[in-house]
């Protein structure tokens, strides 16, 4: 009889604990659950609920341990076992154990296949793993089971946004907001989708609504800054980034967007740029408990040098396409390649990268410290941080010093991190002291490759056309760069070029942004203020397939590179289509991309230092149709045979440089 009373008492204590727990009195709930466990250590419900409290407090490791214990105790007996697996999955997801979370949610669905919240949660983890199609399947199942499930509608909209299906994305965000008008993240992410389709004013309104709903939502302020950057309103954009930083000084997206926008400003000198980069990156210094430096030891005979790449650009992206030939041509007999991907979206290019890696690691959802621990555990010798402070790249992982040698690659500017040892470049992007040197400032040591840029030959590109000037009777200049690169100084110079070449026109296109009134109208006004009529400006829109995008160069004779943020991929594509591109060299890496390509392709005459020379080269080329016809006919072959497309040679150059850095680190002869 006493045993039954004890059982009844434990049930009463558990029930009281649950009442307190549900009312938010976590301490009282915890006391009750501990009292139950003192009498019955393997009590399934008490372990589970105590684990839920740990999860609510952010104690994810403890939550995983307690709920796992509950599952062992309850297997086959607890009618609510699916909730155990679901809550375990929640804790695993937030602790970065994504594979384990998928397993837990799958077990929950095996017990209760019609639970919409589990489908939604599983979709969230699959999305973090870059498995967008699988994620969307579960979001749709959740919505099918619960049509007014705002979170699932939002999540499906977000996944569609990542896949580039923006119209569908906007429809799902709209549906989520109709159910839950105060859904801040739905407003903010709908703003991102609206921005992607060129509805900039509508995007601004969405971000403003998100800010009204949640004045401390730093990312909405930052995203509003992004739209203003699209419009070339850099000072206004920077003011919104600074507001975001007041709210959250270390938000990675805010800081990256701020640093990115600085590169567009034509009036920012190198000293001011460096000072700002240093100040901003100081905000992301590592916490006191960091990893100790990794020691560097000589390789054992026959051992391979382990090279790691960390980036969000293992996809169809300008940086991804630029590094693809390098990874395709690594010597795997001498080098073991580790790829760490922050993959918001996977595509066919991602699959190619995965096949090229000796070891492939998806690091979605992991903290900088957790990524550093993976790199350290893999024993990487030389760690390359790709993409700098752009997009979702993670140069801040270098702060934890997970590898003996750390290298910045394709960052566009200094990482501004003292722990970043080297910056890969070339002698055009950063002239040597013998060439006059560079005024750009950086925390790294420069390592100059024979040529920095390298691209794969463009597959399925349309044939090069005949010279359009022969049919038109006038010269058409072209730039397919984004509007934010076309600042007032650029327009002034391009207007002078158009003045110097009678009857000439200029063709501008970047997705559909030149159809956006808030971009189109000010652009035409700025040209008009420089004496250029709208009839001489061909503004085109439309989000084309890649082949159609390249075919746009059939209507252009001469390319004009913007500054201070020069074109890179756009310049290569123009050259591939037989269009010479004139570049004005600036005083920093990001300003000299086009010039580097021209010089290393054997076309130094396309690279100039002054505005006057820029105009002179444009005028000379425009007046020499035989030369333009020759370039039209030969540029693709010239580029294909140059260092720009020599993947094996490029990979060998990079490998030689990295091995020299390693030997220098261990004290050998470089």
Q: For residue 57, is it within any domain?
A: no
Q: For residue 523, is it within any domain?
A: yes
Buried b / exposed e over 26-51, threshold 16 CB at 10 Å, is eeebbebbebbbeebeebbbbbbbbb
Residue 460 has a pLDDT of 87
Give the bridge partners for 281, in sequence order.
none
Residue 290 has a pLDDT of 63
Q: Are residues 442 and 472 in the same domain?
A: no
Residue 237 has a pLDDT of 96
User: Considering 393, 422, 449, which residue would you say is the last residue of a domain?
Assistant: 449
Q: Are residues 425 and 483 in the same domain?
A: no
Distance, in Å, from the CA atom of 455 to the CA atom of 596, rounded to the nearest integer, reads 13
Cα dist from 125 to 54, 105, 136, 571, whole Å: 20, 9, 11, 38
How far the first Cα of the chain sits from its last, in Å, is 83
Distance, in Å, from the CA atom of 107 to the CA atom of 550, rounded to the nearest integer, reads 49
Distance, in Å, from the CA atom of 331 to the CA atom of 313, rounded to the nearest integer, reads 22
Q: Are residues 592 and 487 in the same domain?
A: yes
Q: Are residues 542 and 495 in the same domain?
A: yes
Q: Are residues 444 and 474 in the same domain?
A: no
Q: For residue 421, is it within any domain?
A: yes
Residue 392 has a pLDDT of 85
Question: 476 — phi, psi (to 5°)?
Answer: -115, 115
Torsion of CA 260, 282, 214, 253, to 10 degrees: 30
Closest CA to 557 of 617, 497, 632: 632
**CB-based contacts of 15: which residues, under 8 Å, 6+ apart?**
none
The kind and range of the H/E element at 337 are: strand 335-341
For residues 596 and 572, is the Cβ–Cβ distance under 8 A? no
- Tell me if the pTM is above 0.75: yes
Q: Which two tokens stand for residue 132?
A: 């967008």
Torsion of CA 123, 125, 128, 131, to 10 degrees: -50
Q: Are residues 641 and 578 in the same domain?
A: yes
CATH number of the domain within which 587 lies:
3.40.50.2000
Q: Are residues 493 and 610 in the same domain?
A: yes
Q: How would you class 152 by CB atoms within 10 Å of its CB: exposed for 0-12, middle for 13-18, buried for 19 or more? A: buried
Q: Are residues 578 and 624 in the same domain?
A: yes
Q: For residue 428, is it within any domain?
A: yes
Closest CA to 400 of 288, 260, 546: 288
Residue 443: HSE in the Cβ half-sphere, 13 Å Cα cutoff: 22
581-584 and 558-560 strand pairing: parallel
Q: For residue 117, is it within any domain?
A: no
Residue 250 has a pLDDT of 82
Distance, in Å, from the CA atom of 362 to the CA atom of 129, rounded to the nearest integer, reads 7
Q: For residue 373, is it within any domain?
A: yes
Distance, in Å, from the CA atom of 555 to the CA atom of 557, rounded to the nearest integer, reads 7
Q: For residue 522, is it within any domain?
A: yes
Residue given tokens 């740029």 in the structure block: 273
CATH number of the domain within which 423 lies:
3.40.50.11380
Residue 6 has a pLDDT of 53
Number of compact structural domains in the chain: 2
Give the bridge partners for 477, in sequence order.
506, 558
Distance, in Å, from the CA atom of 223 to the CA atom of 243, rounded to the nearest integer, reads 12
**CB-based contacts of 157: which residues, under 8 Å, 6+ apart?**
168, 169, 170, 171, 172, 173, 175, 176, 186, 189, 190, 193
Q: Are residues 358 and 325 in the same domain?
A: yes
* Max intra-chain CA distance, the chain: 108
Within 10 angstroms of residue 519's Cβ, the number of other Cβ atoms is 23
User: Considering 422, 449, 476, which residue would you say is the last residue of a domain?
Assistant: 449
Residue 47 has a pLDDT of 86
Mean pLDDT, consecutive 10-residue stretches, the chain (670 aa), reads 56 86 88 87 87 89 89 72 90 88 93 94 90 94 97 96 92 98 97 94 97 96 96 95 92 90 94 94 71 79 95 88 94 97 81 94 86 94 94 91 96 93 97 94 97 92 97 98 96 98 97 91 97 97 87 98 96 97 96 94 95 98 98 96 96 97 78
Cis peptide leading into residue 97 (ω within 30°): no
Q: For residue 516, is it within any domain?
A: yes
Q: Are residues 476 and 551 in the same domain?
A: yes
Range of the domain at 362: 305-449
Q: Are residues 429 and 560 in the same domain?
A: no
- DSSP class of residue 410 equals S
Q: Are residues 635 and 556 in the same domain?
A: yes
For residues 196 and 161, is the Cβ–Cβ distance under 8 A? yes
């Amino acid at each position: 009889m006493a045993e039954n009373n004890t059982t009844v008492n434990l049930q009463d204590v558990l029930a009281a604990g649950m009442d307190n727990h549900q009312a938010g009195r976590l301490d009282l709930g915890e006391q009750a659950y501990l009292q139950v466990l003192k009498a019955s250590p393997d009590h399934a419900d008490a372990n589970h609920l105590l684990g839920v409290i740990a999860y609510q407090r952010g104690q994810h490791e403890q939550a995983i341990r307690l709920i796992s214990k509950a599952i062992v105790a309850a297997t086959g007996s607890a009618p609510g076992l699916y909730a155990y697996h679901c809550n375990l999955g929640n804790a695993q997801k937030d602790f970065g154990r994504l594979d384990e979370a998928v397993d837990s949610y799958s077990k929950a669905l095996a017990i209760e296949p019609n639970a919409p919240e589990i489908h939604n949660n599983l979709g969230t983890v699959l999305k973090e793993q870059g498995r967008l199609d699988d994620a969307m399947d579960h979001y749709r199942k959740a919505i099918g089971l619960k049509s007014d499930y705002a979170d699932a509608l939002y999540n499906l909209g977000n996944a569609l946004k990542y896949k580039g299906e923006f119209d569908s994305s906007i429809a799902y965000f709209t549906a989520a907001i109709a159910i839950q008008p105060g859904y801040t993240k739905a407003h903010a992410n709908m703003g991102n989708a609206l921005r992607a389709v060129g509805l900039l004013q509508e995007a601004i309104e969405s971000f403003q609504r998100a800010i009204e709903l949640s004045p401390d939502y730093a990312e909405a302020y930052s995203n509003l800054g992004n739209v203003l950057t699209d419009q070339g309103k850099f000072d206004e954009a920077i003011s919104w980034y600074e507001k975001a930083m007041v709210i959250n000084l270390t938000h990675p997206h805010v800081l990256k967007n701020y640093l990115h926008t600085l590169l567009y400003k034509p009036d920012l000198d190198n000293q001011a740029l460096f000072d700002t980069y240093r100040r901003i990156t100081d905000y992301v210094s590592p916490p006191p408990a960091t990893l100790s430096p990794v020691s560097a030891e000589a390789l054992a005979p026959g051992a391979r040098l382990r090279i790691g790449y960390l980036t969000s650009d293992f996809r169809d992206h300008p940086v991804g396409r630029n590094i693809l030939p390098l990874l395709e041509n690594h010597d795997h007999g001498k080098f073991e390649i580790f790829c760490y991907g922050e993959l918001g979206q996977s595509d066919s290019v991602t699959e190619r990268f995965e096949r090229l890696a000796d070891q492939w690691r998806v690091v979605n959802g992991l903290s900088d410290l957790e990524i550093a621990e993976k790199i350290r555990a893999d024993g990487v010798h030389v760690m390359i941080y790709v993409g700098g402070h752009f997009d979702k790249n993670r140069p801040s992982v270098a702060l934890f010093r997970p590898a003996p040698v750390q290298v910045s690659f394709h960052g566009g500017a200094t990482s501004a991190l003292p722990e970043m040892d080297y910056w890969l470049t070339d002698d055009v992007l950063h002239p040597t002291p013998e060439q006059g040197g560079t005024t750009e400032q950086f925390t790294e040591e420069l390592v100059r490759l024979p040529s920095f840029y390298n691209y794969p030959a463009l597959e399925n590109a349309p044939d090069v056309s005949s010279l359009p000037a022969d049919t038109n009777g006038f010269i058409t200049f072209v730039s397919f760069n984004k509007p934010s690169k076309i600042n007032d100084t650029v327009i002034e110079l391009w207007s002078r070029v158009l003045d110097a070449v009678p009857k000439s026109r200029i063709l501008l296109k970047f997705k559909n942004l030149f159809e956006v009134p808030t971009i189109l109208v000010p652009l035409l006004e700025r040209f008009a203020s420089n004496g250029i009529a709208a009839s001489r400006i061909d503004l085109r829109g439309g989000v084309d397939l890649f082949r159609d995008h390249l075919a746009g160069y059939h209507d252009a004779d001469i390319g004009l590179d913007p500054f201070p943020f020069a074109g890179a991929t756009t310049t290569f594509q123009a050259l591939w289509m037989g269009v010479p591109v004139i570049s004005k060299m600036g005083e920093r890496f990001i300003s000299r991309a086009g010039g580097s390509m021209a010089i290393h392709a054997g076309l130094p005459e396309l690279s100039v230092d002054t505005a006057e020379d820029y105009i002179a080269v444009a005028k000379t080329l425009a007046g020499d149709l035989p030369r333009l016809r020759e370039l039209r006919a030969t540029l693709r072959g010239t580029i294909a045979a140059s260092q720009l497309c020599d993947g094996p040679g490029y990979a060998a150059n990079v490998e030689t440089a990295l091995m020299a850095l390693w030997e220098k680190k261990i004290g050998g002869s470089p």
